[in-house]
A = this chain, B = another copy of it.
Amino acid sequence: MLVLMRQDATPDQIREVQLKIGELGFRAHEIPGAERTAIGITGNHGAIAPDVFTTLPGVDRAIPVSKPYKLVGREARPESSVITVGTSRIGGTELAVMAGPCSVESREQIVAAARSVRSAGARFLRGGAFKPRSSPYSFQGMKEEGLVLLREAREKTGLAIVTEVKDTGTLPAVAEVADVLQIGARNMSNFSLLEAVGELRTPVLLKRGIAATIEELLMAAEYIASRGNLQIILCERGIRTFETATRNTLDLNAIPVLKRLTHLPVIVDPSHGVGMWEAVPAMSMAAIAAGADGLMIEVHPDPASALSDGAQSLKPSRFTALMNDIRRLAPVVGRTLNEGSTT
């Protein structure tokens, strides 16, 4: 922490800050400046609340210098983490692709989606049974029934299941089926839910909130990690900006930045990130080229009849074509994509 005094701060006010630092058991380092005095603080472990100082007279600002997260930081663990899900790994050289419909809508739909996703070479099936929707009058998902269908789709295809958990009440039921528990963007700061999944050992896919900074995303991951679950996959899915031509603004800058700050794997959801299916292939390629460890893509057997997110869902044929492009891109960035699959 660095405390900056106002230009007109009195010696007494400077002394008061130094005393406060002493009280807290830390060491104060005065830096007399041309314009103003700054006081460095050392001896603290973890972050100090700036307010402790900004409320003192004569103080201009207090600037935290140490990072607020520990367990998920690269400084705590220099080598990258690899999350293992069944026979697949997320964060290694092989790209992880999670694909499927926004919502589970029927047995036919989810099984058809799973088969096409698998034949295209993906190893994870995404699909929501419990859907957080901005309107109480919109389709809220098939709930428990949807979970049953997801289990069935896994049995039929061998794909790992990635599905969203929207509250602590339904967590036990969802956790029983999910191979990867998805925390949606709206719940990134739902700390009670983060703590609950932190108590489990199931891998968690944590989506960045639409207005969350990269640091806040890491602090949300720290909530999960602090409860003992380090099986965390971060997901960039677009942030909210002034631009209205696209549903969100996909922040691919976050990939190289996160790779430097954390050891956790990072994947990208271009479907929500841009919000229109025509642009999903371009943004999928961009995400992999930027260094993402994988993708989460919405694929629907019949987008025009989808109960949600139809406009941003790819048809199976387009998804297959995209997977072939990704397969050609992968080696250029030192990656591989499921060579076993037929295309």
A239: interface (CB < 8 Å): yes
Complex CA distance for A44 and B213, rounded to whole angstroms:
33
**For residue A310, which residues in chain B have a CB less than 8 angstroms away from its CB?**
49, 51-52, 54-55
Complex CA distance for A32 and B44, rounded to whole angstroms:
12
A15: interface (CB < 8 Å): no
Given B47, B277, B287, B306, which contacts A135 in the complex, CB threshold below 8 Å?
B47
A340: interface (CB < 8 Å): no
Complex CA distance for A136 and B46, rounded to whole angstroms:
12
Q: Which of A191, A193, A308 gathers the greatest number of chain B CB atoms within 10 Å?
A: A191
**A40 CB to closest chain B CB, in angstroms?**
4
**A41 CB to closest chain B CB, in angstroms?**
8
Complex CA distance for A187 and B188, rounded to whole angstroms:
10
**A129 CB to closest chain B CB, in angstroms?**
14
**For residue A135, which residues in chain B have a CB less than 8 angstroms away from its CB?**
47, 68, 219, 222
Q: Are A245 and B215 in contact (CB under 8 A)?
A: yes
**For residue A136, which residues in chain B have a CB less than 8 angstroms away from its CB?**
191, 195, 219, 222-223, 226
A250: interface (CB < 8 Å): yes
Closest to A327 in B: B332
Q: Are B278 and A260 in contact (CB under 8 A)?
A: yes
Given B31, B250, B253, B332, which contacts A325 in the complex, CB threshold below 8 Å?
B332
A232: interface (CB < 8 Å): no
A108: interface (CB < 8 Å): no
Complex CA distance for A144 and B60, rounded to whole angstroms:
37
Complex CA distance for A215 and B132, rounded to whole angstroms:
17
**For residue A34, which residues in chain B have a CB less than 8 angstroms away from its CB?**
42-45, 66
Among A282-307, those with CB < 8 Å from B are 282-283, 285-291, 303-304, 306
**For residue A239, which residues in chain B have a CB less than 8 angstroms away from its CB?**
241-243, 249
- List, sorted by A's number, 23 A–B pairs whose CB atoms are closer than 8 Å: A2-B65, A31-B40, A33-B65, A34-B66, A54-B310, A54-B311, A55-B310, A68-B137, A133-B191, A136-B195, A239-B242, A239-B243, A240-B242, A241-B249, A243-B253, A246-B253, A249-B253, A250-B252, A255-B286, A285-B289, A285-B333, A286-B287, A289-B329
Closest 8 CB pairs of A and B: A211-B211, A289-B289, A167-B192, A51-B310, A286-B290, A31-B40, A256-B279, A285-B289
Given contact pairs A167-B193, A243-B251, A282-B291, a sample of 14 additional A-B residue pairs in the complex whose CB atoms are under 8 Å apart: A33-B40, A33-B42, A34-B43, A47-B137, A55-B310, A55-B311, A134-B216, A190-B190, A244-B244, A252-B286, A253-B274, A253-B279, A282-B290, A286-B286
